[in-house]
Chains A and B, each alone.
Chain A
């Protein structure tokens, strides 16, 4: 037995010894323990005080405490409290921990940004699947104009879970997997700025996801993803799941954004000036600014709601001097930046991928950057367009109409850059390219329908109807999810060294594109014909269209199954090997070896141009990987 064998002697330890330590099993056990401890303490608090007597049956205090302590236990079990504790007693700072090898590193705290990226991809994929299943169930119910499959309460819970999970989880849909994995590679860094925080954002999000799912045990919540007060205050205990979920997502978002900004600002390789930064990193930066600033407002708002539900404050309860307007203002002050948190990374992906497949430099780089930052800045000044009919500051409607319509200017920049990059290019229509083109079409419809909603007079018809629902599904599914899949098909060969089956991928694309449009296009008509959102019972004249939409939604769901089948077949069963640089990209991340070493770069590369240096004939051997550091 040499010393090197001793250092990797882990597999020889008996099973029971390996199960003890900071790992997922400990985390789950401590999480459950923390949950019951919190529940017990909550019951002690509420039981001891006559003040809480009227509410003791519902024990919101107990549930909130149980959730919070459960999350703390979970994180402690994963090992997140070790480093803070060691710092408390003065141990020197360190950068990395737990970067082992083997598949088990994906199941616990790992500070390697590439592991976190893949954790995010799988975790978010899982919750995306759950939320999409909810959507399928919603469409099952809407096959008939009266409740058949579910009662009104289950239906509202489904609607709420679908919306909340999508809006919460998918905020990190692109930043989580792809920015964590590729931003350090693109900027020539060996790590993220705060690797532990990076891992924390992921595990917080997972804890949040399961907390939201657990709402079904507490009666669900009737408010939809907006959680409007005072309905929020009246709702049963399931509402607490919503509150904790969104607050945790807010913490995760803010930390993710902080980490991204710190990474991009401080860790760029020498020579990577701001004007050479890949456009995807710019979109991550613009998104992160929104995350850092908007998410704290959400957290504060939800904590106010939690206080209203537990210790009887009256932020939003009119009989105690509160106001439901306060919640609407605060929520949408977060909520509108939030929707751009969803859209902006999509802009980045599309503009990053188009030059590779059009074999041209990115057209209008500065305009694209201005567009993203412009959207980011303006999105803080538009929130009351969600409240055009609410009666809040009705005299300010012209201002909010103007600011909302002005946002279409920077968004228009992105479209011009897309069109300019395609101009006289030499496009190959690979699957990622098809998804980018589909993004352009979908987001165009999303943007143009937004004009109807942003127009204050016309909004009186469309507000709160399926028209609005179709509008934001076009921007979020059509914008974010299509870009998400473009990124999957483009980057998974780099992440895994494996590629997707091309034929199945094309079937997935075409079915998804067609059924997406046949599902959501009729919703505009339904909304215009008077179908409100979130109703379980609707007028009989809307039945045929609703059935059409439901059937197409199922087909859209089937298209997702094609993708899952492809992923299982290509990446797990057949393990189709990918070329080193299948798209002949010049971006830095493709110049690293696959799999990427833990430290990414042997020597930090020196950058002398932006990554869009296409447009000159390639030498014959360009498909082969360049040496790292080139």
Chain B
């Protein structure tokens, strides 16, 4: 069979496979991709994952279809000792490969940057966030320590509670910090992840859109009970949030006096060795 025939057949196989698989992946698998639609940022991640999967599918198929085709066609006949053609390269193929992959890569990077710039995409941005959504925000401080999270609400007298409850459809500005080692605050359904570093105020924005419970886990190894550093938070209506925060203020009023004043970071205890 001639060179062109192989090439044409391969292209047809690949295009056919991609034409079937890519829409299937995007339409069927896409909506069920994590982390779901718990927040504006989470929805962004779903779109993001879908786009990436949609781009990866044809690339994956190209190599796999090629491999299968090569294994079935470009093989030694049993018992024969034949040599292949002594081709050492093809300038056209190489140039077009470089051009196409470069375009793909640049497009990916541009897309990722665009996603990032809008609302910070739910990842920790350090003390001076460059990519912040506009509008009014509710500040919530997440304090990680070995091995639990606590939360402070500076606009409600800096009350500190072991529960995370946030109002729906409000942009939340989490200030994540740590009292000892590096932890990571991961609210799965909200698509939020931000490392909690000692002496660092790591800011992350999220706008919850669904009233639901969400899972919180520490996702940075922080010592022996790291596996148990999890929690459940809740997104509730604005009115329910007001009721809840009043209740918390009342419950924790007796200890309010012992808390350090609200601050973006807290000095860690001098390293208590021996975990």
Contact = CB atoms under 8 A, between A and B. Distances in A.
Question: Are A and B associated in one complex?
Answer: yes
B193 A426 contact: no
Interface in A204-237: 222-224, 226, 228-231, 233-236
Given A427-B76, A452-B52, A420 B89 contact: yes
Interface stretch (A69-77, A248-256, A353-361): A353-361
B167 interface: no
A617 B271 contact: no
A530 B89 contact: no
B217 to A, nearest CB: 5
A615 interface: yes
B224 A222 contact: yes
B129 to A, nearest CB: 7
A532 B98 contact: no
Contact of A614 (B84, B129, B268): B84
Contacts of B89: 363-367, 420
A528 B188 CA distance: 10
Interface string B109-140: 10011011000011111110111000000000
Given A398-B116, A534-B226, A460 B122 contact: yes
Interface string B84-116: 111111100110011001100100110011011
Given A389-B193, A394-B129, A401-B113, A224 B76 contact: no
Interface residues of A, number: 103
Given A152-B225, A230-B181, A361-B88, A367 B94 contact: yes
B133 to A, nearest CB: 14
A428 B81 CA distance: 10
A530 B199 CA distance: 28
Given A55-B273, A440-B63, A532 B82 contact: no
Interface string B47-90: 01100100110011001101100110011100011111111111
B11 interface: no
A422 B74 contact: yes
B112 A530 contact: no
Contacts of B63: 415, 419, 440-441, 444
B184 interface: yes
Report, as a range, how many residues of chain B touch the other chain. Answer: 35 or more
Contacts of B112: 398, 401, 405, 455-458
Interface string B142-180: 000000000000000000000000000000000010001
B219 A533 contact: yes
B221 A533 contact: yes
Contacts of A394: 123-126, 129-131
A228 to B, nearest CB: 5
B202 A390 contact: yes
A367 B94 CA distance: 8
Interface in A47-95: 55, 58
Contact of B181 (A234, A388, A392, A452): A234
Contact of B195 (A233, A389, A416, A444): A389
Contacts of B86: 360-361, 614-616
Given A153-B224, A222-B223, A457 B267 contact: no
Nearest to B269: A319
Contacts of A429: 71, 75
Contacts of A393: 126
A161 to B, nearest CB: 14
A536 interface: yes
Interface string B237-275: 000000000000000000000000000000110111111
Contacts of B71: 427, 429, 437
Contacts of B55: 451
Interface string A383-406: 000011111111101100110011
Contact of B198 (A235, A318, A362, A584): A318
A579 interface: no
Given A401-B112, A532-B217, A456 B223 contact: no
B67 A437 contact: yes
Contact of A398 (B6, B88, B109, B224): B109
Contacts of B184: 389, 463-464
A229 B182 CA distance: 7
B40 interface: no
Given A360-B87, A614-B83, A458 B202 contact: no
B217 A536 contact: no
A569 interface: no
A617 B80 CA distance: 11
Given A325-B197, A424-B85, A457 B124 contact: no
A420 B10 CA distance: 13
Interface in A524-560: 528-530, 532-539
B13 interface: no
A362 B191 contact: no
A318 B198 CA distance: 7
B75 A324 contact: no
A435 to B, nearest CB: 14
A477 interface: no
A618 B34 contact: no
B208 interface: no
Contact of A358 (B84, B116, B271): B84
A423 interface: yes
Contacts of B267: 318-319
A359 B83 contact: yes
A441 B67 contact: yes
B213 interface: no
A313 interface: no
B231 interface: no
Nearest to A527: B34
Nearest to A159: B221
B117 to A, nearest CB: 8
Contact of B34 (A229, A318, A389, A461): A461
A545 B274 CA distance: 35
Contact of A395 (B49, B56, B130): B130
Interface string A299-320: 0000000000000000001110
B200 interface: yes
Contacts of A415: 63
A529 B34 contact: yes
B126 A236 contact: no
B127 A451 contact: no
Contact of A458 (B45, B59, B182): B45
Contact of A360 (B83, B102, B195, B275): B83
A412 interface: yes
B123 A456 contact: yes
Given A361-B88, A388-B123, A392-B126, 4 more contacts: A323-B199, A409-B98, A423-B87, A534-B221
30 contacts: A58-B274, A153-B224, A222-B223, A229-B182, A234-B181, A324-B181, A358-B74, A361-B86, A361-B88, A363-B87, A363-B89, A391-B124, A393-B126, A395-B125, A401-B116, A402-B113, A424-B74, A424-B87, A425-B70, A429-B75, A455-B52, A457-B44, A528-B34, A539-B215, A584-B81, A612-B88, A614-B84, A615-B83, A615-B86, A618-B81
Top 5 closest pairs, chain A to chain B, by CB: A615-B86, A457-B121, A391-B202, A391-B126, A464-B219
Interface of A: 55, 58, 147, 152-153, 155-156, 222-224, 226, 228-231, 233-236, 317-319, 323-325, 328, 358-367, 387-395, 397-398, 401-402, 405-406, 408-409, 412-413, 415-416, 419-420, 422-429, 437, 440-441, 444-445, 448, 451-452, 455-461, 463-465, 528-530, 532-539, 584, 612, 614-618
